[in-house]
Amino acid sequence: MQFYPLFPVLHPILKPSFPNCLWEGDRNSKFIALSFDDGPHPQYTPQLLKVLDRYNITANFFWLGACVNRSPEIAKDICDRGHWIGLHGYDHRNFPMLAPNELKQSLEKTQVAIYQACNLQPQQVRDVRPPNGLFTPKTLNFLQQWDYRTVMWSVVPEDWVRPGVANVVQRVLKDIKNGSIVVLHDGICGGEDVAEITQVLIPLLLQRGYQFVTIDTLWQQIKGTNGHGEGETRGIVNH
């Protein structure tokens, strides 16, 4: 069963119910965030980077720690290009299925992997996207207690089931609006098509006047300031 038709219905219900999550940016600006989950992948991610380089687009990557450890040189390439880095857990296990200590260890192991590959300190990588978008209020409370920021999405074209490049592009164009966070995948599920999807999608979104920004920029938009300070730290250390 494909769940794509449910996402536009669920989004306006979930967003006000969990206001501490980042679901989208400011609806009054043309800023959007292009994000990629489940990587880095040794084959699909380099293909994607070539497309992003071609259009000089800054994107956002939510990494699995196990994948960072398998492809540290690709992780470093992404970071060196100035893309924003977030956490997706160590091995894509659903957060509600983990005991609190297991969840904390999963995130910290991923931060260690990122530090070893990219020299980013743990306090510089605090944005977390739960695998499969699954969380509970208890999960969110723990993440907040541990000083992480939960990042969700507003445009989910379900690329991981591979409905075809044209279908994914059409779904994004149908749902995109000011402030949208688009989630695609450069990992083992969906990554086969990610470079082609992005190659088709970026020029169409640029034609509509959208500007691609980091997740941190959207946080700052909706809160006025970056409450946790990661953006300023990343800016000084890396860019």
Which residues belong to the active site? Answer: 37, 185
Residue among 182, 170, 172 nearest 31 (CA):
182
The number of CA neighbours under 13 Å toward the Cβ of 225 is 3
Query: What is the rounded CA–CA span in Å between residue 89 and residue 82?
Result: 21
Question: What is the distance of C-alpha 116 from the center of its chain?
Answer: 20
End-to-end Cα spacing for the chain: 43
SS3 203: helix
Query: What is the rounded CA–CA span in Å between residue 57 and residue 81?
Result: 10
Contact 190, 37 (CB under 8 A): no
**Which whole-number Å values give the CA distances from 111 to 85, 87, 140, in the listed order?**
10, 8, 18
